[in-house]
Amino acid sequence: MSRPWVYQFETGTDEARKPKPKNGANKMQYTNKQAAEPMHFFAASAFEWRTSDNLEQLIGQMKQEGEGFSLWRVPLAESASYDINEFRPEVEGTVYLGRWN
């Protein structure tokens, strides 16, 4: 079974040692449909929060708002309920991915 998020490692220069997608794609797309376990992404600005299982779509929606936002990977299905405290998901195993301005 092919998994698009599996990387192959090459040897040689430092540039060649960076992980590259096996399928040769120049962009990695990672959605819940490809994940082995349920998960989704959570984004929050000072004014709103959104969730999606499509990372690129979520980032695009948040950038359209014109405000900076933070992004997390939540290890639950998007339909799951959980607490949100100060615009952050309160779920064990949540990974903070960064802030976009």
What tens digit of pLDDT does each residue of 52-101 get? 999 999 999 999 988 899 999 999 999 999 999 989 999 999 999 999 98
Q: Which domain holds residue 80?
A: 30-100
**Structural element, H or E, at residue 61:** helix 55-64
- pTM as predicted: 0.64
Return the pLDDT at 65: 86
Residue 87 belongs to a domain:
yes
Query: Are 10 and 22 in contact, with CB atoms under 8 Å apart?
Result: no
User: Which amino acid, residue 40?
Assistant: H
Residue 7 belongs to a domain:
no
Domain tally, the chain: 1
Residue 52 belongs to a domain:
yes
